[in-house]
A and B are shown apart, each in its own frame.
Chain A
Amino acid sequence: MGKESALRPNSGREAPNGSSITLPTTSSSHVTIRGLCKSFGDAIVYDRFDLDIPQGKLVSVFGPNGCGKSTLINMIAGLIPTDAGEILFNGKPLRDIKFGYVFQNYREALFPWLRSIENIEYPLKLMKLSKAERRARTQRLVAHLGVKIDLARYPYELSGGQQQLVSIMRALVVEPEILFLDEPFSALDYEMTLFMRDQLQRIFVETGTTTVLVSHDLEEAVYLADRILLLSRRPAAIADYVHYAAARPRTDATLSQHDFVRVKAHCLEVFQREVRKA
Chain B
Amino acid sequence: MKVDRFQAYLPIIGVIGLIVVWYLAVWYEVVDRVLLPSPTDTFAALWKGATSGRLGFDFWRTVERTTLATLIAAAIAIPLGIFLGAAEKLYRSLEFVIDFFRSTPASAMFPLFLVLFGVGDETKISVAAFGAALVILFNVAYGVMNARKTRLLAAKVMGASRLRVLTDVMLLESLPQTFVGLRNGVSLALVIVVVAEMFIGSTDGLGHLVFESQQLFAMPDMYAAIFAAGALGYGLNLLFLLIERRFVHWSGK
Q: Which residues of A contact B (CB under 8 A)?
A: 77-79, 101, 103, 105, 108-113, 122-123, 126-127, 154, 156, 170, 174
Contacts and interface: CB of A to CB of B under 8 A. Distances in A.
A174 B151 CA distance: 18
Given A108-B151, A109-B151, A154 B157 contact: no
A170 B250 CA distance: 19
Contact of A156 (B158, B248, B250): B250
Contacts of B250: 112-113, 154, 156
Contact of A126 (B150, B164, B172, B175): B164
* The 4 A-B residue pairs with the shortest CB-CB distance in the complex, in nearest-first order: A112-B250, A108-B150, A156-B253, A123-B158
Nearest to B156: A79
A174 B159 CA distance: 11
Among A79, A112, A174, the one with the most B-chain Cβ atoms within 10 Å of its Cβ is A112
A79 B153 CA distance: 7
18 contacts: A79-B156, A79-B157, A101-B154, A101-B158, A103-B153, A108-B149, A109-B151, A109-B154, A110-B154, A111-B169, A113-B172, A113-B175, A122-B158, A122-B168, A123-B158, A126-B158, A127-B159, A170-B158
B249 A154 contact: yes
A123 B159 contact: yes
B5 to A, nearest CB: 26
B249 A77 contact: no
Contacts of B168: 111, 122
Contacts of A127: 159
B164 to A, nearest CB: 7
B119 to A, nearest CB: 45
B157 A77 contact: yes
B253 A126 contact: no
Contacts of A110: 154
A112 B150 CA distance: 13
B148 A108 contact: yes
Main secondary structure of the interface of A (DSSP, over half): loop
Interface in B116-172: 148-151, 153-154, 156-160, 164, 168-169, 172
Contacts of A154: 249-250
Interface of B: 148-151, 153-154, 156-160, 164, 168-169, 172, 175, 248-250, 253
A257 to B, nearest CB: 37
A79 B250 CA distance: 27
Nearest to B175: A113
A113 B250 CA distance: 6
A109 B150 contact: yes
A1 B160 CA distance: 34
Contacts of B148: 108
Nearest to A101: B157
A154 to B, nearest CB: 7
Contacts of B249: 113, 154
Q: Which of B154, B160, B253 has the most CB of A within 10 A?
A: B154
Contacts of B169: 111
B148 to A, nearest CB: 5
Contacts of B151: 108-109, 111
Contact of A112 (B149, B158, B253): B253
Contacts of A112: 250, 253
A81 to B, nearest CB: 12
Nearest to B159: A126
Given A101-B158, A108-B148, A126-B159, 7 more contacts: A101-B154, A103-B150, A109-B150, A111-B151, A111-B154, A113-B249, A122-B158
A111 B172 contact: yes
A81 B21 CA distance: 69
A273 B223 CA distance: 80
Contacts of A101: 154, 157-158
Contacts of B172: 111, 113
Contacts of A170: 158
A101 B154 CA distance: 8
A171 to B, nearest CB: 8
B127 to A, nearest CB: 35
